[in-house]
Amino acid sequence: MNAVTRPFCFRCRRPQEVCLCADIPSLDVRTRFVFLTHPKEAKKTKNGTGRLAHLALPGSEVLVGVDFREHPRVNALIRQGGCWLLYPAARGEDAGASQAPRVLFVLDATWPCAKKMMTQSTNLHGLPRLSLEVDRPSEFVTKHQPDPRCLATIEAVDRTLWALTEHGGERWDAARSEALLRPFRRMNDIALEFARNPPPGSYRRSGPFRPPESRPGRSSKATGRNIVFLG
């Protein structure tokens, strides 16, 4: 017997019954965000927040891959100048530099995948880096975070825009921040409601819902790092 296929939204890539498109704003910003998305992240259809950020920022781009050394679009942007990388660095550049980024590359992946992408993409190594200090935990409550300072990609974008605004490179405010994060928060609400009240006939191997912080097996690999992207 063929499985029943639910109607699908090809824009936000979620089932139509939990489509987030009505919550996704259109926000013009000065910085061109270019999401370098790991293939595993690109395949996510339910909780890939990098795509939500991309849909909310009309001037942004998504480029899928692992090794971007020979990627023509990435190298063309680098040659034009003004490119920065959102990535931790012990002595990295930050938003307080004299010139704000024209283009900001964002590695859209889990931390292990982002680290591999960075290792292989040597053309990114010479770019000035913007590092964020994470002073509050992620709102990605349904995700089992390896560290309390881990952020969803869309949260990293929001905090980056706040940091750039602080130094004159952007004009970000509470209303625009709320609009950007609205679909992400709605996604969390949907997941939590399903976890707490699964529909009849659903199958939950993990048993009753437990908050991520109460689950065993938390990793210590991210200790000491100030930002991690979780997609």
Mean per-residue pLDDT over the chain, rounded: 82
In this structure, are residues 138 and 151 in contact, taking their beta carbons and an 8 Å threshold? yes
Per-residue pLDDT band for 223 (boundaries 50, 70, 90) equals very low
Burial 70-100 (b: 16+ CB within 10 A, else e): ebeebeebbeeeebbbbbbeeebeebeeeeb
pLDDT of residue 229: 47
Strands (E), the chain: 8-9, 14-15, 32-37, 61-64, 83-86, 103-108, 129-130, 150-151, 228-229
- d(Cα 211, Cα 218) in Å, to the nearest integer? 13
pLDDT of residue 8: 84
**Greater model confidence, 226 or 40:** 40
What is the pLDDT averaged over residues 148-165? Answer: 89
Which residues lie closer than 8 Å to 174 by C-beta, 6 or more apart? Answer: none
Reported as half-sphere exposure (CB side, CA atoms, 13 A), residue 148 has a value of 5
Q: What is the pLDDT of residues 181-210, one digit of tens each?
A: 999 999 988 888 877 777 665 555 555 555
Q: What is the pLDDT of residues 51-110, one digit of tens each?
A: 999 999 999 999 999 999 999 999 999 999 999 999 986 554 454 455 789 999 999 998
Q: What is the pLDDT of residues 104-144, one digit of tens each?
A: 999 999 888 999 999 999 999 999 999 887 777 778 776 65
Confidence (pTM): 0.80
What is the pLDDT averaged over residues 18-43? Answer: 94
Helix%, strand%, coil% for the chain, nearest 5: 35, 15, 50
